[in-house]
Amino acid sequence: MSAPATARETSAPAELIALRNAAAVRERCARVRDWVAAGRSPHFTLNEAKLDDAAALVADVTRASCPDLVIPHHSRWRHFSAGGRDRWAALPLGAADALERTRVAIDLAVVSVLLDAGAGAVWSYHDDDTGIRFARSEGLAVASIDMFRVGAFSSDPARPLQADARALAGLQQPALTIGLQVSSQNPLVGLPQRLTLLRRLGAALAARPDLFGAVGRPGHLIDGIFAASRDRTIAAADILAHLLDGLSSIWPSGLTVDGIALGDAGFHPAVRTRDRSDRIVPFHKLSQWLAYSLIEPIEQAGMTVTDVDGLTALPEYRNGGLLIDAGVIVPRAPLEPAVAHDVASELIVEWRALTVALLEKLREPVRRRLGLASLAMSQLLQGGTWLAGRTIAARLRPPDGPPPISVRADGTVF
């Protein structure tokens, strides 16, 4: 089931609309990898013999985090249990039926993932229930589910456990500041941009009642998925296609070409075409992270999600940092972590594209080391590469373990 084009886009160049899918991410990132492997990059060279060293580290951290090697999907749901507390199970859902529980789960996942760009090295969130202070992704997950529980994203006091267009479009910075415990002593990277992202989400939800219902809830995606499926199956890449169809316009720093919102994409000279997609490399990092995170709620509603490997690796700084720190991606000039590079720069676009392409190559050596018959990309990420990137960064750049390359972004990409 593929997502329908909006009326405004029916006359748009097909090659631009075609960039809003995972296959385009995979294909164009592979072109960048080939460019670098051919020695054409002024920024990086490759030493793919070092993939085995990276695989050894990933296998080690995977065994430590999943001793039984039953590795779940890479998903926001892992973070909601930070500190050993199942916060989803604790939500007062009462007598809600299975379909409404899925809508609630999707509402929660969407707002939480959209808040889950890099938090910076200083910010943290104090969880009153456990007394633990969580940083980075875990902190943002706990903060977002706490806000969700008290109705911060709902316009209906009688239905606090939802996210809807009206509440999101009208969200004010003081509410987000309080909810995320931001202060001068606890600064969060990109707070105004995160607010803008959520408000733009509200507008996008309201603009697409065909996808999100009259109230404008992300969770109404499940209704459309059910209606369009004859056999209660959907491919993971089609979940992403629906998200990109409905939400590509929300990204404050997203790429727009000829009035068509392409979302998380950049330019690179390795990708040459004779049409309007020339030099464009799509990534859709947060959208794919969201698609991975919707698999479990959709399956719990009675659907079967097929071809999870239709999605790609996630081009973010822990995965990409692992490849640099393990010596697979080799900078031509020494890196200075204190020098920030713009997220749209050729160097960062290239690094992100290499991350996608090289994690595809990393999967097989990790599978062999773990002795598994198969290893999905979602399992490689979860086991996995993200944690290995954090681990090696802390080892090489203590105590906080920043990534090897600093990125100047607005808090809505990485």
Q: How far is CA 384 from CA 56, 306, 333, 366, 393, in A?
A: 11, 22, 28, 9, 14
C-alpha to C-alpha distance for 142 and 119, rounded to whole angstroms? 13
| 280-282 and 265-267 strand pairing | antiparallel
The conformation of residue 255, written as its DSSP 8-state character, comes to E
Using DSSP, state whether 205 is helix, strand or coil.
helix
Q: Are 9 and 245 in contact (CB under 8 A)?
A: no
pLDDT tens per residue, range 357-400: 999 999 999 999 999 999 999 999 999 999 999 999 999 999 88
Give percent of the chain above pLDDT 70.
96
Given this model, what pLDDT does residue 411 score? 64
C-alpha distance from residue 161 to each of 32, 147, 217, 271 (Å) = 43, 10, 11, 44
Q: In degrees, to the nearest 5, what angle opens at C-alpha 242 toward C-alphas 98 and 119? A: 85
4 pLDDT more than 50: no
Residue 268, CA atoms < 13 Å, CB-side half-sphere: 31
What amino acid is encoded at 277 in this protein? Answer: S
Q: What are the φ and ψ backbone dihedral angles of 330, each rounded to 5 degrees?
A: -115, 110
Q: Give the model confidence (pLDDT) of 310-339 as tens digits.
A: 999 999 999 999 999 999 999 999 998 789
pLDDT at 152: 98
Q: What is the mean pLDDT of residues 115-129?
A: 88
Per-residue tokens: 265: 């994409």
Residue 301, token pair as written in the block = 């509603």
On the question of pLDDT at 3 being above 60, the answer is: no
Supply angle C-alpha 148, 236, 302, rounded to 5.
Answer: 70
Give the pLDDT confidence score for residue 413 in this predicted structure.
66
| Alpha helices per DSSP H over 51-172 | 51-65, 76-79, 98-114, 136-149, 165-169
- Please, which pLDDT band fits residue 294 given cuts at 50, 70 and 90? very high
- DSSP E strands in 297-397: the ranges are 304-306, 329-331, 340-342
pLDDT in tens, 79-110: 999 999 999 999 999 888 999 999 999 999 99
Could you give the 3-state DSSP secondary structure of residue 94? coil
Rounded to an integer, the average pLDDT of 38-59 is 98
- How many whole angstroms from its chain centre is CA 258? 25
Q: First vs last Cα of the chain: how many Å apart? A: 29
Q: What are 49-69's pLDDT values in tens digits?
A: 999 999 999 999 999 999 999
Can you tell me the distance from the alpha carbon of 414 to that of 164, in angstroms, rounded to the nearest whole number? 24
Query: What 3-state class would DSSP assign to 324?
Result: helix
